[in-house]
Structure 1
Amino acid sequence: MTVHSRPNLAHYAHPPPTQVDLDFAELPIVDLAKALSSPSEKRKWGAFVREAILNHGFLYVINAGLKPEETGRIFDIADVAFSQVGDQEKAQYVAKIKENGSFQGYKPRRFWHIDNGVRDQLEHYNINRDVNKRDHPLPLCPFVPEIGHFAKHNHLHIAYALLQLLAIGLELPEDAFVKLHNYAATGESYVRFMKYYPRTSEDEMKTSNVWLKGHTDFGTLTILYSQPVSGLQILDRSGDWKWVRHIDNALVINTGDALEFLSGGFYRATIHRVIQPPLDQQGYTRLGVFYFAMPDDDVVLEPLSESPLLKRVGIVRKNDVGPPPTMEKWRRGRTAAYGQSELKQSAASDGVEEEVINGVVVKHYR
């Protein structure tokens, strides 16, 4: 990712990685440079990615085209959205989350209900892959071209590569998923800058140290740029919560609802949560950089039933009643409902709460 004009910017220094002995998940690592090096390597890595998603739901990606200093620069820019934009200016750019089902702009702190009357302590700023779709706070404006290059790299290089491998894993043409994610189409694939702030001991007690309940993302792929403050956990296939380890300049990838719809339940959306960091990292803020890849808004989220593999193993539909939703309908419904709905205890599973969106049961894990 090359950007020729780069305004000066203060460096964001991450806290040191934890020294606490945590129960980390042992996640597969995909070398993207090797995976794209030849057709035979693509086939091999397509099978590898398929098994990684089936067995773990999360994986790491290395050699994704950004040098460490370029990744560091994006974190520097991300911090501007929070440390250099005042509350009054942030208020002018608050996203129409409940009104329009859109995250574009700021999600303020304390917007979501977590548990027992406790509200969240995180804020994020979301920028559509079309960075000129709306205005931005003045301190961020000099960096919008760089954010645009970053979004394009994530979409066309990283997401497209992974979508090709996922299609190969389903024995489909490698562009089967790619052609549903047109860069210039109407949609809400976006860059997210996020900052978590420490909470009071009272709030930690009321929520059992959970900062975000276990949930699935609603797009196709989530690309998380690894950072050293631990907090992210995945629900592994045996039903245990495992920590996600930090790897320098690596990406952490998880699958979302849209991919589960499109793959007929074969690639399941990954359940993950965020909890209080370990003791030696408590008191630090936690800065995150993401890219959320979603199909075009008009894509109907129905299984790609022409897959030879799905014909063999069968299709499981997320929507039992009625037609499948479009991506626009699904992401608007999930965006507007998250952290706002009155969740109901699941009759089938203890510690699981449910809501119904577009006729589909959406689960949250306490």
Structure 2
Amino acid sequence: MPSLVRPAVPHYVPPPVTRENLEYADLAILDFAKISTAEGRTELTAQLRDAMKTHGFFYIVNHGLSQADNDRMFDIIDVAFSGVPEEEKSNYFADIKHGGSYQGYKPREYLIIDGGVRDQFEHYNVNHDVTRKQHPLAVRPLIPEIEAFAKFNHLQVLYPLLRLFAMGLELPEDTFVNMHNFDAVGESYVRMMKYYPRSAEDELKTKQVWLKGHTDIGTVTILWSQPVAALQVLMPDGKWRYVRHIENALVVNSGDAMEFLSGGYYKPTIHRVVQPPEDQRNYGRLSLIYFAMTDDDIKLIPRVESPVLKKYGIQRRWSNDNEAPTMEAWRKGRTSTYGLVELKKKEDGTEESMVDGIPVKHYN
């Protein structure tokens, strides 16, 4: 990120890594040091394609942001929660249910998890256009750094990844890049998130699940790895496995919009958040995420010109492309209903809601 004047803020000390023997997912590690050469991009394309055809999560290392910059961003996250009074946060609540937008704060106990238990996490979301909304007083001096961080994620991580996704479908490299204009109207955003410990009663009622298994709304999700072990991915064998923490690594997955655009070739990753292991249960869990979505006006239809899709076939979640949603319609529909509507239980054990006539599954 470019050099900026950095206001003094308290330093956040992350929790220690768990010592418990957990069952971790074996995830591919993409080395972005190879992204600058044609040979490297070919190798990374194959890695990405294999990862997306198995479990959908992968790591990125050597992405260009230093550990010191990473640490600084977690200092900033902590300010958004511990540095802003509760009464002030209420002035910046996101218009989730009616506006279908996460921009601003989502307060604790807003979503229904299971068994009548509400969530115990909050998040503060900043659009890639940081001028879209006003920010809390303590956060305002930090906005230039948050904007630089958003640009780094969008231009230096997302764009190279989107080129790899396109190459995997044998499409022109900028096919997906051209749908994710940084200056266009859209909802790509930085999410600062904090999970709080829950009561033993709530853990029992929810079977230790903090956030049900789900897929993400957009195209690509970029999670900055943190030490509290709670994120799990649903593996092809039907088992949930933990995502291991790697210092200064990115944990990346694709979402619904990428599935739509790729005609089902790139499956959205099913993941959830559960109670941390015993030696980490008394810590808060800070997360830093960049959620990428296409420009709002992009219609989420398959790239039928792809030679790969012509060979392997196209899977649509609707009967014809005229019924396909735009990115704006899909993210508003998902956002305004997630955790806020009654789910229909299915025979396979999943739960389901409908968005724009398309079934959205939740995994318990």
Q: TM-score range by the shorter chain?
A: over 0.9
Tell me the secondary structure at the aligned position of residue 30 of structure 1. strand
Q: Distance in 1 between matches of 2:110 and 2:10?
A: 29
Partner letter of residue 75 of structure 1? F
Task: State the percentage of identical aligned residues.
Answer: 56
Aligned to 2:9: 9
Matched residue, 1:360: 358
Tell me the CA shift for residue 108 of structure 1.
Answer: 0.3
Match of 1:98, SS state, is coil
Aligned CA-pair RMSD: 0.8
Describe the superposition over 1:280-322 as per-residue Cα deviations: whole angstroms up to 9, x where unpaired: 1011100000000000000000000110000000000122366
Task: Give the Cα–Cα distance (whole angstroms) in 1 for the partners of residues 120 and 3 of structure 2.
Answer: 33
In the alignment, which residue of structure 2 is the partner of 1:251? 250
1:130-186 deviation line (CA, Å, top 9, x unaligned): 111111000001100000000000001100011101111111111011000000000
Q: Does the CA-based 8 Å contact 1:261-1:301 persist in structure 2?
A: yes
Determine the C-alpha separation between the residues in 2 that align with 1:139 and 1:279: 33
Q: Which amino acid aligns with 1:254?
A: N
Please state whether the residue corresponding to 2:97 is helix, strand or coil: helix
Count of aligned pairs between the two proteins:
363
* 1:79-128, Cα deviation, whole Å (9 max, x unpaired): 10000100110000000000100000000000000011100000000000
Report the equivalent of 1:291. Answer: 290
* Structure 1 segment 283-322 matched on structure 2, within 5 A: 283-320=282-319
Q: Is the 8 A contact 1:102 1:336 kept in 2?
A: yes
Counterparts of 2:118 and 2:319, CA distance in 1: 33
Local SS of the residue matching 1:42: helix
Question: Displacement, 1:324?
Answer: 0.3
User: CA offsets per residue over residues 7-60 of structure 1, 9 Å max, x none?
Assistant: 1111100000000000000100001121x2212221221121111111120000
Alignment partners' CA distance in 1, 2:270 and 2:153: 22
TM-score, normalisation: structure 1 = 0.98
Give how far 1:335 is off.
Answer: 0.2
In 2, Cα distance between equivalents of 1:51 and 1:116: 37
Segments ≥4 residues shifted beyond 6 Å: none
Aligned pairs for 1:63-74 within 5 A:
63-74=62-73
Amino acid at match of 1:284: Y
Give, in whole Å, the separation in 2 of the partners of 1:189 and 1:54. 25
Deviates more, 1:10-19 or 1:313-322: 313-322
Q: Report the CA distance between 1:3 and its aligned residue.
A: 2.5
Measure the CA separation in 2 of the matches of 1:306 and 1:231. Answer: 40
Number of the residue aligned with 2:122: 123
Residue type matched to 1:343 in 2?
A: L
State the alpha-carbon separation in 1 of the partners of residues 319 and 331 from structure 2. Answer: 18
**Conservation of the 8 A alpha-carbon contact between 1:320 and 1:360:** no
C-alpha separation in 2, matches of 1:54 and 1:128? 30
- After TM superposition, the score normalised by the length of structure 2 is 0.99
Aligned-partner SS, 2:87: helix
CA distance in 1 between counterparts of 2:236 and 2:204 reads 27
Unmatched 5+ residue regions in structure 1? none
Deviation string, structure 1 residues 208-236 (Cα, Å, up to 9, x no partner): 00000000000001000000001000001
Q: Aligned partners of 1:89 and 1:165: how far apart in 2?
A: 42
Q: Structure 1 counterpart of 2:75, which letter?
A: D
Give the letter aligned to residue 188 of structure 2: S
Q: In the aligned structure 2, how far is the partner of 1:239 from the partner of 1:318?
A: 22
Query: Are the aligned partners of 2:4 and 2:145 in contact in 1 as well (CA < 8 Å)?
Result: no
Structure 2 runs not aligned, ≥5 long: none
Letter in 2 for 1:112: L
Match of 2:189 in 1: 190
Q: Deviations over 1:224-262 (max 9, x none)?
A: 000000100000111110000000000000110000000
